[in-house]
């Protein structure tokens, strides 16, 4: 039997102009082949063939668009890039092998020796290490400041500053940055404003609309949503993304076609998942705030949060990550975590399954003691990435932790 393309069937291209993020999450970026498949196809191939030697030369030389090699051109990866760019309202996206690869690719493509970065202290611990240890080897200096202290940001900027880098909300204390103010500061000093939008995703927050130049995602988190694959993506204007793409082409921190296909499937349910995460997280934060052994809860959805009104202005929801300080230290935090019997003890976040971790010894464990203090990463801090299980069941499981604190001699309950 011979299979052929359905070349005589004409399917009009989808018109998605003006469509909402919910619709773009399902429809944007799809590239149908001649087989006219309804679902997104996957292209697990390392290379592509050409009709002639001349066409191959034209592709490699950039004179003719088309696929060359899956290190930097693959249809499945391009479909994912087009979809997330549409959702963020950006001109172009470049997918990478991980979220950290997205940050590294951005820095290597757009910074040079002698440049200076101002970065918020409230970033993922490995982001801190990347700037402080590895970018420093290439002559890029970084100053870390409080995410919410605009005077500190202004004071840190100098003539060599070429990038302001933030996560908002922050990890793990859920601080919220004034993106409009930071964008203005960056641009009046000829610097780029880069926002890690991992916690909110474009469903809850669109940083480009608040002056950001570049958006970073760890696709591993909410974009996938089920903890299946590792990946990252950079979104921004075509001119800047061409530089990031050039680094990817040469250095190869590449997203695989299979992972891109998984992320495409994840994006289809992202809007409904994010709403469920937000609903559960808010209810859980309110409940935790009433517990006698909890000293402080960090979640922008609480009216007592110092940036609650700012979060309401910038975000369409407060996200699915919260953290809290228990009365005590590491011993109490570990005892609380170990007493849970349903919630997963893992450092990953953004999963439909609720996860719990101790930031001081996991996500931020490689920071120095001084850096932990500056970032507010205390030994009694616990972070929860709230999933979409029944919230009453989450409370039941966390209650085991509180019981363990009240009865330390009884072991896990």
pLDDT, tens digit, 9 for 90 and up, residues 315-335: 999 999 999 999 999 999 999
pLDDT number for residue 11: 61
What is the pTM (predicted TM-score) of this model?
0.93
Of the pLDDT bands very low, low, confident and very high (cuts 50, 70, 90), residue 36 is confident
pLDDT tens string 223-251: 999 999 999 999 999 999 999 999 999 99
- Do 337 and 380 touch, CB atoms closer than 8 A? no
pLDDT at res. 400: 97
Supply the pLDDT for residue 37: 87
pLDDT, tens digit (0-9, with 9 covering 90-100), for 173-188: 999 999 999 999 999 9
b/e string for 330-367 if b means 16 or more Cβ within 10 A? eebbbbbbebbeebeeebbbbbbbbbbbbbbeebbeeb
pLDDT for 15 equals 84
Which among 100, 106, 105, 156 is positioned nearest to 123, based on CA atoms? 100
Q: Which of 269, 243, 408 is nearest to 331 (CA)?
A: 408
Calculate the CA 140 to chain-centre distance: 23
Name the band, by pLDDT with cuts 50, 70 and 90, for residue 35.
confident
Q: Which spans in 111-237 are helix H?
A: 125-129, 136-137, 150-156, 179-188, 201-204
- Output the pLDDT for position 189: 98
% residues pLDDT > 70 (the chain): 96
Does residue 170 carry a pLDDT above 60? yes
13-23 pLDDT tens trace: 678 989 999 99
Query: For 288-308, how does the pLDDT look when each residue is reduced to its tens digit (9 = 90+)?
Result: 999 999 999 999 999 999 999
Mean pLDDT of 349-374: 93
Q: Supply the pLDDT for residue 8.
A: 59
**How high is the mean pLDDT of the chain?**
94
| 1 has pLDDT over 70 | no
In this structure, are residues 389 and 353 in contact, taking their beta carbons and an 8 Å threshold? yes
- For residue 5, the model assigns a pLDDT of 53
CA distances in angstroms from 365 to 42, 126, 326, listed in the order given: 38, 9, 19
- The pLDDT of residue 317 is 97
Predicted confidence band of residue 133 (pLDDT cuts 50, 70, 90): very high
**Rounded mean pLDDT of 247-267?**
97
- Measure the CA–CA gap between 138 and 156, rounded to whole angstroms: 20
Whether pLDDT at 264 is above 50: yes
Tokens of residue 157, six digits: 């900027």
Across residues 350-359, what is the average pLDDT?
97
The model's confidence at residue 220, banded by pLDDT at 50, 70 and 90, is very high
Domains of the chain: 21-266 (3.40.640.10), 271-408 (3.90.1150.10)
- Confidence band, pLDDT 50/70/90 cuts, at residue 3: low
Q: Whats the size of the chain, residue-wise?
A: 413
């Amino acid at each position: 039997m011979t299979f052929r393309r359905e070349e005589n069937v004409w399917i009009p291209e989808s018109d998605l102009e003006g469509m909402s993020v919910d619709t773009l999450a399902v429809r944007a970026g799809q590239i149908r082949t001649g087989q006219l498949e309804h679902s997104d196809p996957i292209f697990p191939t390392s290379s592509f063939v050409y009709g002639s030697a001349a066409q191959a030369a034209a592709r490699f030389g950039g004179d003719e668009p088309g696929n060359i090699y899956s290190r930097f051109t693959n249809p499945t990866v391009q479909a994912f890039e087009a979809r997330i760019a549409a959702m963020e309202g950006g001109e172009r996206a470049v997918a990478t092998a991980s979220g950290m690869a997205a940050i590294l690719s951005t820095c290597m493509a757009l910074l040079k020796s002698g440049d200076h970065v101002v970065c918020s202290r409230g970033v993922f611990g490995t982001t801190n290490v990347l700037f402080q240890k590895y970018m420093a080897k290439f002559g890029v200096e970084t100053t870390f400041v409080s995410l919410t202290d605009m005077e500190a940001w202004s004071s840190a900027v100098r003539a060599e500053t070429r990038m302001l880098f933030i996560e908002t909300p922050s990890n793990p204390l859920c601080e919220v940055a004034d993106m409009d103010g930071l964008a203005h500061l960056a641009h009046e000093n000829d610097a780029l404003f880069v926002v890690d939008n991992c916690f909110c995703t474009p469903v809850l927050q669109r940083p480009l609309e608040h002056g950001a130049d570049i958006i970073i995602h760890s696709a591993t988190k909410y974009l996938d949503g089920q903890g299946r694959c590792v990946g990252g993506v950079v979104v921004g204007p075509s001119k800047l993304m061409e530089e990031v793409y050039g680094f990817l082409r040469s250095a190869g921190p590449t997203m695989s076609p299979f992972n891109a296909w998984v992320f495409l499937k994840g994006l289809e349910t992202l809007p409904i998942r994010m709403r469920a995460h937000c609903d559960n997280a808010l209810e859980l934060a309110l409940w935790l705030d009433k517990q006698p052994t909890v000293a402080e809860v960090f979640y922008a959805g609480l009216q007592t949060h110092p940036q609650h009104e700012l979060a309401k202005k910038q975000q369409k929801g407060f996200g699915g990550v919260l953290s809290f300080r228990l009365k005590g230290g590491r011993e109490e935090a570990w005892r609380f975590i170990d007493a849970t019997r349903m919630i997963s003890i893992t450092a990953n976040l953004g999963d439909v399954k609720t996860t719990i971790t101790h930031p001081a010894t996991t996500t931020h464990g490689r920071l120095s003691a001084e850096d932990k203090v500056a970032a507010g990463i205390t030994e009694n801090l616990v972070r929860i990435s709230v999933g979409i299980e029944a919230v009453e069941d989450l409370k039941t499981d966390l209650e085991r932790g509180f019981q363990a604190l009240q009865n330390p001699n009884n072991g896990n309950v």
